[in-house]
């Protein structure tokens, strides 16, 4: 049990309903505008029980953050990244897969975007949130992208860390650009966003080969 949660007997079904309701409310409204009474009503529990289980709205947000990453990591197929022969193939696969996850886990991905954005977050648990994000980014770089970069002939003056930052920026870009389209097209499929993948792959080509004529 995490330090953000209260000790004592807890009903697992009610905990799951609270976390799911809170995730949706935080994803839709942001932290400050989210209402605990709305969360309690959606979870079919009392507002007092929410605070009894989690102590505060900030602690609930932190618990949701852990829950979201646990769900996404459990569902993700990391071989999509690890087995790619080169950077362009890896990013193309990763983007399509991330869009697929965005379609399947809409609230989780929207919540994650706001978390990575670093805006409107509870100050009371910011150190814990930062630690969680750093752990996730370290896992992504060490376990997913580093094996691919190790197979590539990088320039001596270019570090893998620099390439990782650029890749993370592109993945964040595609999530932010895809979300308005998905909001406007709730029945969209992965193929409906091929235009976005093709656009980002053009960026990757420029990243690998530069933008100046040889």
- Stretch 53-82: mean pLDDT, rounded? 89
Domain end residue (candidates: 65, 85, 101): 65
State the Cα–Cα distance between residues 185 and 193, nearest whole angstrom.
Answer: 11
Asked whether residue 103 falls in the same domain as residue 122, the answer is yes
Q: What is the pLDDT of residues 163-201, one digit of tens each?
A: 878 877 776 777 677 778 877 877 777 778 788 888 888
Q: CA 113, 114, 115, 119 torsion: positive or negative?
A: positive
Of the candidates 45, 149, 162, the one whose C-alpha atom is nearest the C-alpha of residue 91 is 149
pLDDT of 3 higher than 50: no
Q: Residue 114 domain-assigned?
A: yes
Q: Residue 7 domain-assigned?
A: no
Query: Quick check: 178 and 196 in contact, CB under 8 A?
Result: yes
- What per-residue confidence (pLDDT) applies to 22? 97
- What per-residue confidence (pLDDT) applies to 121? 87
Residues in CB range of 25: below 8 A, 6 or more apart: 34, 35, 38, 39, 42
Query: Quick check: 36 and 43 in contact, CB under 8 A?
Result: no
Asked whether residue 40 falls in the same domain as residue 121, the answer is no
Asked whether residue 59 falls in the same domain as residue 154, the answer is no
- What per-residue confidence (pLDDT) applies to 8? 62
The whole domain housing 155 covers 76-209
Q: Model-level pTM? A: 0.70
Q: For the CA atoms of the chain, what is the radius of gyration?
A: 19
Asked whether residue 124 falls in the same domain as residue 46, the answer is no
SS3 sequence of 58-127: HHHHHHHHHHHHHHHHHHCCCHHHHCCCCHHHHHHHHHHHHHHHHHHCHHHHHHHHHHHHCCCCCHHHHH
Asked whether residue 124 falls in the same domain as residue 181, the answer is yes
Q: Residue 1 domain-assigned?
A: no
Q: Residue with structure tokens 């965005």?
A: 102
Q: For residue 46, count other CB atoms closer than 10 A to its CB.
A: 13
State the Cα–Cα distance between residues 88 and 170, nearest whole angstrom.
Answer: 12
Q: Would you state the structure tokens that stand for residue 40, as one six-digit string?
A: 């309690």
State the Cα–Cα distance between residues 84 and 182, nearest whole angstrom.
Answer: 27
Query: Quick check: 47 and 36 in contact, CB under 8 A?
Result: yes
Mean pLDDT, rounded, of the chain? 84
Q: Residue 116 domain-assigned?
A: yes
Kindly report the CATH number assigned to the domain that includes residue 57: 1.10.10.60
Q: What is the pLDDT of residues 51-66, one digit of tens each?
A: 999 999 999 999 999 9
> Residue 125: phi, psi to the nearest 5?
-125, 20
């Amino acid at each position: 049990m995490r330090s953000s949660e209260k000790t004592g007997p807890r009903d697992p079904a009610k905990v799951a309903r609270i976390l799911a309701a809170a995730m949706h409310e935080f994803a839709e409204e942001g932290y400050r505008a989210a209402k605990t009474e709305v969360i309690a009503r959606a979870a079919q529990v009392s507002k007092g029980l929410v605070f009894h289980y989690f102590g505060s709205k900030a602690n609930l947000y932190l618990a949701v953050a852990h829950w979201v990453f646990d769900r996404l990591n459990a569902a993700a197929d990391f071989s999509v990244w690890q087995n790619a022969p080169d950077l362009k193939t890896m990013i193309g696969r990763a983007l399509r897969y991330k869009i697929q996850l965005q379609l399947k886990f809409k609230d989780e991905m929207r919540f994650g975007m706001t978390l990575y954005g670093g805006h409107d977050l509870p100050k009371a648990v910011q150190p814990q949130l930062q630690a969680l994000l750093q752990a996730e980014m370290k896992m992504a770089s060490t376990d997913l992208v580093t094996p691919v970069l190790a197979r590539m002939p990088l320039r001596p003056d270019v570090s893998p860390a620099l390439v990782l930052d650029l890749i993370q920026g592109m993945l964040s870009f595609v999530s932010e650009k895809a979300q308005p389209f998905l909001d406007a097209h709730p029945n969209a499929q992965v193929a409906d966003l091929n235009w976005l993948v093709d656009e980002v792959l053009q960026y990757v080509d420029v990243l690998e080969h530069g933008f100046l004529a040889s």
